[in-house]
Amino acid sequence: MAQEPAPAQEPPKSVAPIVEEPPAFKALIVDDSRPVRKQIELELKLFGIQVDSAESGEQAFDLLDQKTYNLIFLDVVLPGIDGYQICKTIKRDKTRKKTPIVMLTGKSSPFDRVKGALAGCDTYLTKPVKQASFQKVVKKYLDKK
């Protein structure tokens, strides 16, 4: 009795190695000025940073409840809750207290800088921010990731 030939086996398919992308660096911009938010967003996107923005403290807290951010840019003068109070609230939260906060403000007096430091901000930049200064700060926090 003749045996039927064995069915041809398919050659093994090559499997592409699974390469995990590092999680994206995410930043939150909190500023009531749309042009300022857009300018900062454009700068951050040059670094490949994902950006969300809020125009008030309330909107910022809504976003913070939904996502985790690697860096927060925070204006001092905002409608409703001011930037100092937002900063204090974020820094009191166990899950967010290590998130760097960069205060962006037109207030440049030594008193304002001390107030920012007491609120817990990590960096204090005065508007208008020079591009080189802004990029230096962003690189500093990107390198810490």
CA 71/CA 98 separation, integer angstroms: 10
* Dist. CA 139–CA 145, nearest whole Å: 10
Residues near 73 by beta carbon (within 8 Å), at least 6 away in sequence: 27, 28, 29, 30, 31, 40, 101, 102, 104
Does the pTM surpass 0.75? The reply is: yes
Helix (H, G, I), strand (E, B) or coil at 49: coil
pLDDT for residue 7 is more than 60 = no
Segment 16-41 mean pLDDT = 85
Average pLDDT over the chain, rounded to an integer: 89
pLDDT at 8 over 80: no
* pLDDT (tens digit per residue) in 75-133: 999 999 999 999 999 999 999 999 999 999 888 888 989 999 999 999 999 988 899 99
CA 14 from chain center: how many Å?
38
Q: Which domains does the chain have, with CATH numbers?
A: 26-144 (3.40.50.2300)
